[in-house]
Homo-oligomer: A and B are copies of this chain.
Amino acid sequence: MTERSQNTTGDVRMRGFARRHTVEAALDVIDALLEAPLRSLDAESIPLQQAAGRVLADDVVSDVEVPGFDRATMDGYAVVADSTEGATAYNPLPLTVLGDSFPGRPFPGSVARGQAVRIMTGAPLPPGCNAVLPAEWIGDSGDASRVNALAPVSPGKHVGHRGEDVVRGATVLERGRPLRPQDLGLLSSIGAGQVRVVRRPRVRLVVTGNEILPSGSSPHGHCIVDANGPMLTALAERDGATVSFPALVPDEPDAILKALHDDADVIVVSGGSSVGAEDIAPSLLGEHGELMVHGIAMRPSSPAGFGRLEHRLVFLLPGNPVSCLCGYDFFAGRAIRALGGRAKAWPYHSIDASLARKISSPIGRLDYVRVRIVDGRVEPLATGSASVLSSTTRADGFVIVPADSEGFAPGASVKVWLYA
């Protein structure tokens, strides 16, 4: 026995979890935390140009009409509709052409029966007119100042009315909406240069593990290179967060405790989440904050946990990268999305497809099974190990086997959540 191992013997606690929470119970705890008033993030005002994908903090009410004037929706002649009644190719009705109306350059006068103004799509309809006679129903009179109407046009035809797009006082977009490209267009059209959106959740990543080298290193010796830091950063940013990840954190209580106190809305810890000798974070959280859930009846990610430390939500994710991904998606991601005003549900689309081979799973445990879609059928990947991250890069997505199921038979229709 070496001297070092003697020294550490007393620290080596190899007990398992006394009891595991069900996934449902764990999600209920998160949702209760998210309903507390302190958990809704405040709003910020940002330039419209940066608002794509952000979540609207307030209803947007227009104080203008769009358009602010009646306008032509076709190229043609602005007329009093009555002037054209009875017009046909055999009964051309003459119209006196007064001038032109261009977009942004309206005709400066008004128009009476028997008169017309050449008008371009988008140009203001001159006062007195109530219709646009399309150019193809116009006949040449041989005189530049007169044309002939060859067909009748009904009142309002080919006219876009003031306010047809947006009326003053209308709620054009509702709070909680993630902004689409066309929403930005609409906001711009009502004169919004700034938009109030929900502030992004601030996430502090705490990646621990003395065997971990920082991303960008080459793996060597008995060390591995951090996979979880880059993965969790991309996941949290996908879910609307800003991520702070200054450096790896050594497996030492002081260093971890300091990181847990960093300025953030959510702390996500990777590694050391279980109940072994080097699993420091759970007991630290229990001592200095509240460890609300620890140990979950699922595979992978059973040694996950979470709780809070003052105003911070703290998620403890296993270091095994597949566990880390699964635990993020089930728990941390849910909270991050909700804090930022987004839907709690996974941001994955699902398809239903038929299972090529059976999936077995014990009753009492939820399983997260990586699968490929091969010729339209669902192939579970052979590897079940939570340390094999490449199983999630070879996979097209995953199937969930609920805790009350023993799995699925070949040919069963299963829901596949597609990684994106």
Within 8 A of B (CB), among A318-338: 319-321, 325
Of the 9-residue stretches A176-184, A252-260, A357-365, which lies at the interface with chain B? Answer: A176-184
A189 CB within 8 Å of chain B: yes
| Alpha-carbon gap, A392 to B233, bound state (A) | 33
Chain B nearest CB from A204 CB (Å) reads: 16
Tell me if B230 and A185 are in contact (CB < 8 A): yes
* Nearest CB on B from A390, distance (A): 5
| In the complex, A4 has a CB within 8 A of chain B | yes
Residues of B contacting A224 in the complex (Cβ-Cβ under 8 angstroms)? 66-68, 189
Q: Closest B residue to A67 by CB, please name it.
A: B224
CA distance in complex: A227, B389 (Å): 44
> Which stretch, A33-41, A95-103, A283-291, touches the partner chain B?
A95-103
- Which residues of A, 129-175, contact B by the 8 Å Cβ criterion? 135-136, 138, 144-145, 160, 164-166, 172-173
Contact B103 A209, beta carbon cutoff 8 Å: yes
User: Which of B164, B183, B193 contacts A393 (CB under 8 A)?
Assistant: B183
Interchain CB contact under 8 A, A4 and B219: no
List B contacts of A69 (CB < 8 A): 222
* Bound Cα distance A173, B393 (Å): 8
Query: How far apart sit A373 and B12, CA to CA, in the bound complex (Å)?
Result: 58
Is A215 an interface position by the 8 A CB rule? Answer: yes
A136 (CB) vs chain B CBs: closest residue: B16
Write out, one digit per residue, whether chain A residues 85-111 have a CB within 8 A of any chain B CB (1) or not (0).
000000000000111101111111000
- A345 touches B (CB below 8 Å): no
Contacts of A246 in B (CB 8 A): none
- Interface presence of A374 (CB below 8 A): no
Which residues of B have CB within 8 Å of A232? 181
| Contact B52 A388, beta carbon cutoff 8 Å | no
Of B165, B383, B388, which is within 8 A of A390 by CB?
Answer: B165
0/1 interface trace, chain A 47-79, chain B, CB 8 Å (1 if under): 011001000000000001011110101011000
A208 to chain B, nearest CB (A): 10
From B105, B123, B164, B182, give the contact of A419 (CB < 8 A): B182
Q: Within the complex, which residue of B193, B234, B276 is in contact with A75, where a contact is CB–CB below 8 Å?
A: B276
Quick check: is A45 within 8 A (CB to CB) of the other chain?
no
Chain A 215-234 interface 0/1 with B at a Cβ cutoff of 8 Å (1 = within): 11111111111111111111
Q: Does A277 contact B (CB under 8 A)?
A: yes
Tell me, yes or no, whether A262 is within 8 Å of chain B by CB: no
Residues in A348-374 with C-beta less than 8 Å from chain B: 349
A172 to chain B minimum Cβ distance, whole angstroms, is 6
Residue in chain B with minimal CB distance to A1: B145
Of the residues B104, B118, B189, B225, contact of A5 by C-beta under 8 Å? B118
Q: Is A43 an interface residue, CB under 8 A from the partner?
A: no
Give A185 to B319 CA distance when docked, in angstroms: 12
A77's nearest neighbour on chain B, judged by CB, is B14
On chain B, the residues within 8 Å of A118 by CB distance are: 5, 12
Q: Which residues of B contact A97 (CB under 8 A)?
A: 1, 5
- Which single member of B186, B220, B278 contacts A68 (CB below 8 Å)? B220
**CB of A420 closer than 8 Å to a CB of B:** yes
A420–B185 alpha-carbon span in the complex (Å):
15
B residues in contact with A48, CB < 8 Å: 215-216, 230
Does residue A124 face the partner (Cβ distance < 8 Å to B)? yes
Give the interface of A toward B (CB within 8 A).
Answer: 1-2, 4-6, 8-9, 12, 14-16, 48-49, 52, 64, 66-69, 71, 73, 75-76, 97-100, 102-108, 118, 120-124, 135-136, 138, 144-145, 160, 164-166, 172-173, 180-191, 193, 209-212, 215-235, 237-238, 274, 276-278, 319-321, 325, 349, 383, 385-390, 392-393, 419-420
Given contacts A6-B144, A165-B390, A191-B216, list 5 more A-B pairs with CB under 8 A: A2-B107, A12-B118, A49-B215, A104-B222, A182-B231
The 8 closest A-B pairs by CB, nearest first: A104-B211, A14-B135, A185-B231, A193-B216, A5-B99, A185-B227, A103-B211, A181-B234
